[in-house]
Every structure is written in C-alpha cells, then in structure tokens.
Chains A and B, each alone.
Chain A
C-alpha cells in the first residue's frame, strides 16, 4: 500500500539509487547543458526528414492532390491512416499524466513529462494531416465553424465537425496541461542557469517561487485539469472512431469502434513511450530515474491493451460471420485473404502475437527486448488503421466499384516525413525542458527528516 506507507518509505521501490533532492536537480538539469554527438546526429536526421516532409507536401500543393494515390473508390488513404495513428499515439501521454495521476500510480512521475510532451507533439503532427488530406491547404480555415457566404452553418450532426472540436480541444488542453506541469521545473532550471538561458527560463517560469500559496492552488488546479483531461482523452479517440463508425461502410459500421479505438490508441501510445524513452534514457544517462520497474509497468499496460485490441479484432470477425450479411462477411474474408492480406497479417502478428511475449517477466524487464517489441507494435498499429480504412473502402457493396489503392511516392514522403516533424520537436524538448519532472519526482523519493538522520547516527 503506497498511500499508507510512512513518508520515508514512499519512494524506496521506484528509485532505489537516488539519495536526495539535490541529486534530482543535478542529474536532470545536466541534460539541458551542451548536447552530445548523439543528439546532433539524431537532430540532423530529423532535419533531413523535415526536408522530405515539406518537400513532398510542396509538390502536392503545387501539382494538386492528384499526385497522391487517392482516387475513387479509396478517398481516404495513408493521410487519414497517419492522422489516426498520431492521434492515437497522443493518448497514452494523457493516460500516464492524467489518469494514472488520479489513480496515484507511483511509477508515473519519472515517465510522465516525456509522455506528455509526446502527446503535444503527436497532436501537432496529427493536426497537419487533415490539412494535407484536403489538398487545398489554403482553404484550411473552412474547418472553423462559421457561416458560409450563404449564411449556412456547418452541420453539427457530422462526425467530421465533432472531430474538429475534439482535436482542437485536445490540443489546447494537453498543451496547457503540459505547460502548467513544467512551470515548477522551469523555475528549477532558471535557478540553475546563467546568462541568456536564465533570462529565458525567467520569462517562461513566470516567477514561480514554490511558495505554499502557489503549490496549494497548483495542486488543486492540477487535480481538476487531470479530472477534465481523463474524459477528454476517452472522448477524442471515440470521436475519431465515429468518423468511421457513423458511415455505413462494411468494416466501419460497428458499435465496438469507440472502445476498440481507445484501447488501440493507448496500446500504440505506450509502445511509443517505450520507443522514445529507451534512447533518451541511454543518451542522457537517466538509468537511475527510468528503472526496469518503470518499463515493467509500461509493458504490463501494453500487454493489457494488446489483449483488448486482439479481442476487438476477433469480435469484429465473429460479428461479421454472425450477422449473416454478405457484404460484412466478404469484407472480413477479403481482409484476411484479399488484395491487402499482407497488411492484415502484419497487424495481427505485430499487435496480437508479438505482445504475447510480454507475459514473461524476463521479457518485461529486458529493456532491449521491450524496445524491439515496441517498434513492432508501432508498425502494427499503423497498419491497423491502414487495414480499417483502406480495405473497407476498396471493397464496398458494389463489385463494379471495387478498386485497389496504392500510396504514391509523395504520400510516402509525407508519411515518413511526419515522423521527422515529430522527432524534431521531441529532440528540441529534451534539450530545452527538463525531460523528467523534477518537482514531482521528489514526491516519490523519501523526504529528508531530521528524526531519521539522528536515528541512523544513533545506530551507527
């Protein structure tokens, strides 16, 4: 029982190697000093990828959406796939920062800052894809609900309009939540910095002094924000799933979609947290902060959500058979053995089979193994969205309207480049903001007590 344990034993489990509060400031703020070669190499890679991203997008802007493979019958392809993928990635950040905060999970403190940054940058990446997908990006402001020239307002019955509200709210709230959480740590960075850096942190820390008044209201505001973010995160991916489930396309029109998408989102996001933090831990020497205990907990979360996702896959197949509907039945047969059989099997193997290894404690506690598994899951979850979107659209009701979609080079450039866009922001984050929550970590390491110190001296 973490809650009932005496103060001095609170953090003994999660961070056995940390001695005191000063260690935390020293180790985490060290990360913000001069970047090493490894960081520059990754940053150069990200910049190259950014070139690919904006280069490909420019080609599409100049020559039109025709450079993509999108055409009848498949009007939604890799862009929407990647949109759903990145929104999904975002979800586990909020899960770790808000839901696990409300549940008082003692292992969240060390991972949550990185996970929350991942959320903000993933939503920033996802938000670009509707703009890319609609082609004429200079009309992107049409997404904002305002009356058109004939005074017609948008149709609020449309899930696509819900999606605009859900994703913009999600971005705003998660960015605010993220910034608010970093304020005490920015103050710590300010107190440890000199010169221009100090001035910069002075501005962004907004004069945080850690007084009882500030902490008191901060703590309460944080709880309420977490309580608001929790239903928000569940609603966002539900709304994304309704983009599909509200349509009568076979393979989309299912009531299971909302919980199925939310579980999938958390599954992919937790895997992405592992993918991002393993190199970060190595590069910045944060082994004492992100211990095998943390990875074990993340792996368990992956295992749980993978089981939910696998169950949802099987339910979909069962319901298609049980419904007796020819279009539904052919759709799911076509998924397994049709033109895109390979995508479906990648999805099933990566998301259903590979995570089975997480039942073994030895695998959960091996960081290299988890890193490899997490990459499998990332790939599998991208293909899950591809399977849902593309296989459903290319093989609808009318056989004469069937067709095969192939992503073009430009589309692939944009999709691959989006990872660089995300990586660019994440790399900047690890250099400019403390990547592990300094203040919150101190809640889980034992507080310095005079009584204990004198006792220890007496025993010695």
Chain B
C-alpha cells in the first residue's frame, strides 16, 4: 500500500484558494480540507457541499418536543381528572403553549447535538494540521494523496501562489 502524503498550504486571497480547490478536484485530488476564518460560501461550493443533515436533527427534535409537550400535559391531566375553573379536563388550547415551548427546546438542543456529531466537535486531537493564521486572515488547504501524486498536488497548489506550503505536517509534528 502506498504511503499517504499530505500538504498544508495557506493563502492570502480568496479567489486563489477557490481556484486551487477547483484545480485539485479536477485533477482527482479530492481529499481536501479547507480552513477559513469565516464561513465562505465560495469555498463550500467549490468543495461541493450539499445539504447538511443537521436539518433532520432539527425536524426530528422539534417533532419529538411537540409530542412530548402534548403527551406530558394530556397524561398529567388524565392521571387525576380534576375539573378546575369549569374547563374541560383536556384543555388543548392551553396545552399548545406548553407543546410549543417544548418543540423549540427539543428542536434547538437536538440541532446542537446534530451539529456536534456532523462537524466532529469537540475535536480533542492535537492540532497539528492547523495554523493560527486560519482564524485570523488566511485561508488554508490540506491535501492528502499518495506518494506518487504529491508532486502533482504541489504543482497545482503553487500555481495559485500560496503564502506558505508545509509538507507532511502530521509527520513533522510527530518527529519533533
């Protein structure tokens, strides 16, 4: 099995980063991680991100919340049927308020769980494939590929004039 090699390039300009991503993907070097200081849709689009499964978490969480809210209020009213204020035992309009709040609560919390699972957070491994500049002003690209194609990847990256290229950042960190 050929050894895995990787490159970490950092860019000053947004358009060069997008160009580099397009060129890499065209050459079939698809194992790319991009780093950006803010959510840049041009990069997300260039990498071909589609719909996020987080929306399913939101929907399922919200529906669970609504069901819980109604089940809770209905169950507790039936548990000891006591007429108060001449209102029906099951006063649905009043329970809508509780169910609504539970929908929001469960929906929001499950969205957060969905986000953590999908974006692999919290990330506890040592941050070797990273540069502090990526939270400031630079865009980063990490490409991994086989030993044979690493030179080609480097050539493509260099065409976009990166500010800096590091070779095998994982290896370098392990060695030091």
Contact = CB atoms under 8 A, between A and B. Distances in A.
A443 interface: yes
Interface residues of A, number: 67
Interface stretch (A78-86, A148-156, A381-389, A392-400): A148-156
B16 interface: yes
Contacts of A447: 14, 40
A212 B132 contact: no
Interface string A167-192: 00100110011001001100110111
B6 interface: no
Contacts, number: 201
B149 interface: no
B36 A177 contact: no
Contacts of B37: 21, 188, 210, 439, 442
A220 B105 contact: no
A368 interface: no
A439 B121 contact: no
Contacts of B95: 156
Nearest to B74: A156
B168 to A, nearest CB: 18
Nearest to B91: A157
Contacts of B136: 21-22, 25, 188, 191-192
A345 interface: no
A212 B49 contact: yes
B122 A152 contact: no
Contact of A210 (B35, B94, B112, B115): B35
B55 interface: yes
A451 B58 CA distance: 40
Interface string A262-290: 00000000000000000000000000000
A2 interface: no
A206 B121 contact: yes
B150 interface: no
Nearest to A183: B121
B74 to A, nearest CB: 9
Interface residues of B, number: 65
Contact of A191 (B15, B43, B132): B132
A439 B111 contact: no
Nearest to A233: B104
Interface in B37-95: 37-40, 42-44, 47, 49, 52, 54-55, 58, 62, 73, 76-77, 79-80, 82, 84-85, 87, 91, 94-95
Contacts of A210: 35-37, 134-135
A136 interface: no
A169 B76 contact: no
Interface string B92-128: 0011011011101101110110110011111111010
Given A156-B73, A166-B101, A451 B130 contact: no
Contact of B33 (A145, A213, A224, A235): A213
B102 A165 contact: yes
A209 B55 CA distance: 22
Interface in B15-39: 15-16, 33-39
B137 A22 contact: yes
Interface in A6-48: 7, 20-22, 25
Contacts of A442: 37-38
Given A212-B36, A448-B12, A156 B77 contact: yes
B101 A169 contact: yes
A54 interface: no
Interface string A60-78: 0000000000000000000
B127 A209 contact: yes
A134 interface: no
**Residue of B33, B36, B97, B130 contacting most chain A CB atoms (<10 Å):** B97
Contacts of B119: 213-214, 216-218
Nearest to B15: A449
A425 interface: no
B44 to A, nearest CB: 5
Contact of B98 (A152, A165, A192): A165
Interface string A202-214: 0000111111111
B36 A449 contact: no
Given A25-B135, A220-B52, A228-B107, A180 B39 contact: no
Given A152-B82, A439-B39, A218 B34 contact: no
B164 to A, nearest CB: 15
A453 interface: yes
A405 B40 CA distance: 58
A115 interface: no
**Residue of B73, B98, B123, B136 contacting most chain A CB atoms (<10 Å):** B136
Interface of A: 7, 20-22, 25, 145, 147, 151-157, 161-162, 165-166, 169, 172-173, 176-177, 180, 183-184, 187-188, 190-192, 206-221, 224-225, 228-229, 231-232, 235, 239, 438-443, 447-451, 453
8 contacts: A147-B76, A153-B77, A173-B104, A173-B108, A191-B132, A209-B123, A212-B49, A450-B13
A-B pairs with the 4 shortest C-beta distances? A207-B123, A21-B137, A191-B132, A153-B76
Interface of B: 12-16, 33-40, 42-44, 47, 49, 52, 54-55, 58, 62, 73, 76-77, 79-80, 82, 84-85, 87, 91, 94-95, 97-98, 100-102, 104-105, 107-109, 111-112, 114-115, 118-125, 127, 130, 132, 134-137, 161
